[in-house]
Each structure stands twice: as C-alpha cells, then as structure tokens.
Amino acid sequence: MYINNNFKYLLQNNNTNTFRLSKEVNIDESTLRRIRNGQVNNPSIETVVMICSYFKVSLDDFVHMDLSQDKHRQQ
C-alpha cells in the first residue's frame, strides 16, 4: 500500500501542509501528521476518502499506486 508515500507526495505537489488540510477537511491535524510520518499504516476509510476527495484522487489509486510516478501525476 502506498498511503503514506502518496499522502506526502500529494501534500508537496499541491503546495499544502497538514495544518491547512486539517482545516479544509475537518480532520485532526495530529492524525494527518501521523499518516504523513508513517505512524499510521491503516487510517480509517472515512479519513482516506476525505483525503482522496480533497486531492481529487481515486481511492484505488491512492492506496494501490505510486502517484509520484510520471504516468500517475496530476495535471
């Protein structure tokens, strides 16, 4: 699963951080930091869905694909 790496990539690629995202999606910042830092390997489905929705990424891609690879880069 690529959750942690994809989350870090999406934050960086979209020029945002866990503080801003937490305010936008109403998820506790500490939860988002723990996901980003790899301390949470299986976040709740609700959290993952909200992250995917914010970044406009499919749940399947977020979990199963390395989004940092060229063929998966967001436009």
Q: What are the E-state strand segments in the chain?
A: none
Within 10 Å of residue 33's Cβ, how many Cβ atoms?
Answer: 15
Structure confidence by residue, pLDDT tens digits, 11-43: 999 999 999 999 999 999 999 999 999 999 899
The domain spans of the chain are: 3-64
**pTM for the full predicted model:** 0.88
Architecture of domain 3-64: Orthogonal Bundle (1.10)
Return the minimum-mean-pLDDT range out of 8-12, 37-41, 45-49, 52-56: 37-41
Q: Measuring CA to CA, how many Å separate 56 from each of 15, 30, 39?
A: 15, 22, 24
